[in-house]
Structure 1
Amino acid sequence: MRTHLDNLAVFIGRLLIAALFLGGAVQKASSPEGAMALLAGWQLPVWLIWPALVFNALAGIALLLGVWTRPVAFLLAAYCGVTSVFHYLPEDPWQMTIFVKNWAIAGGCLVLAVHGPGAWALQRGG
């Protein structure tokens, strides 16, 4: 049985993870050059930024509202794992920090995928 404090923690955690992906979508929309350079550096088409932006935005909104939380969180965990590869640059401490943070975010998403959105969500079973 979850307490009020447990529900608050799950809610805040879900909002913080949502804010990260919503912020990423805004960043991709307002200043796409950095992400495009990462894609180009891996010989990938730079237009991939646009589906990533849409995914970030829709997934962030879903988490924010607490709808489809379990499948969205699972997909976000996979997304973080895949995108971490772009930041695996051992000679660059900043990129390695982002690499590790991506895995930490994936961990938080996996917790949401297993435990659901909590009591304070539009779709409680999520």
Structure 2
Amino acid sequence: MKQISPLIARIFLGQLFLLSGISKIQGYDNMQGYMNAMSVPGELLPLVIILEAGGGLAVIAGWQARRVSIALGLFTLVAAAIFHNNFADQIQLIMFMKNIAIAGGLMLLAVHGAGAYSLDQRRSAVFASP
């Protein structure tokens, strides 16, 4: 279980970003309008999609997991501050706290690395071979 649990955790974290990126593609115009309404330039949406979908895939695969986790963690904190800052609305407060928890999971991944069954470990094993 010790070897498989990092993979399971990466799948749980990564799928959230992968599916979010895909849903932004499917609802591109609506998301761009929402971003503009929140004073975030809608022109940044392609970068958000690349970060979410690409970052989600990278986390799942365990590729550059430390770096990607830091980037996604910072992105998640910024998104929480911009999009979920109305604490008078209980749903927004819950979504803010959810983002904080996700950032915490990403911090753990950044500190401990991708673990077994990851491209990072495979790469380390290849370069460690005599």
TM-score (norm 2): 0.85
Judging changes above 3 Å, is the alpha-carbon distance between structure 1 residues 87 and 75 closer, same or farther for their aligned structure 2 residues? same
What residue is the counterpart of 1:32 in the other structure?
Answer: 28
Return the index of the structure with the highest Cα Rg: 2
Larger CA deviation: 95-104 vs 35-44 = 35-44
Structural RMSD (CA): 1.5
Preserved contact between residue 32 and residue 45 of structure 2 (Cα < 8 Å): yes
Q: Which amino acid aligns with 1:59?
A: G
Superposed displacement of residue 114, structure 1 = 0.4
Q: How is 1:54-65 mapped onto 2 (pairs within 5 angstroms)?
A: 54-65=50-61
Superposed displacement of residue 92, structure 1 = 2.0
Q: 2:4 aligns with which of 5, 8, 29?
A: 8
Work out the CA distance in 2 between the residues paired with 1:42 and 1:102: 17
Superposed displacement of residue 107, structure 1 = 0.3
Q: Which amino acid aligns with 1:53?
A: I
Work out the CA distance in 2 between the residues paired with 1:63 and 1:106: 13
What residue is the counterpart of 1:81 in the other structure?
Answer: 77
Q: How is 1:96-111 mapped onto 2 (pairs within 5 angstroms)?
A: 96-111=93-108
What residue is the counterpart of 1:68 in the other structure?
Answer: 64
Superposed displacement of residue 37, structure 1 = 4.1
Superposed displacement of residue 33, structure 1 = 4.8
Percentage of matched positions with identical amino acids: 30
TM-score (norm 1): 0.88
Work out the CA distance in 2 between the residues paired with 1:67 and 1:20: 17
Q: Which amino acid aligns with 1:36?
A: Q
Work out the CA distance in 2 between the residues paired with 1:108 and 1:13: 9
Judging changes above 3 Å, is the alpha-carbon distance between structure 1 residues 93 and 36 closer, same or farther for their aligned structure 2 residues? farther
Work out the CA distance in 2 between the residues paired with 1:35 and 1:97: 21
Structure 2 residue ranges without an equivalent (≥5): 125-130
